[in-house]
């Protein structure tokens, strides 16, 4: 949810392939720590849809 603090390595959610029930779900993991400025709610997504946008303080960039 927007405004939440997230940590690098924390689970962001799971991606399910509803058209291919034999395809295993993918675990989505945050690649950096920060604050969510946008997050998609549960529901159907299409390839290329944005699911989350994170922000970081530019005074302390994460490598």
N-terminal to C-terminal alpha carbon distance within the chain: 24
Please tell me the pTM assigned to this model: 0.65
Contacts of residues 38-43 at CB distance under 8 Å and 24 or more positions apart, as own/partner, are 38/2, 39/1, 39/2, 39/4
Per residue in 4-25, pLDDT (tens digit) is 899 999 988 888 888 888 999 9
pLDDT of 38 strictly over 70:
yes
More confident residue, 42 or 55: 55
Helices and strands (H, E) in the chain, number of each type? 0, 5
């Amino acid at each position: 949810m927007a405004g939440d603090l997230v940590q690098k390595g924390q689970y962001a959610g799971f991606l399910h392939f509803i058209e291919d029930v034999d395809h295993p779900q993918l675990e989505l993991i945050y690649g950096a720590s920060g604050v969510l400025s946008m997050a998609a709610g549960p529901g159907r997504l299409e390839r290329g849809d944005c699911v989350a946008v994170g922000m970081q303080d530019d005074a302390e960039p994460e490598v």
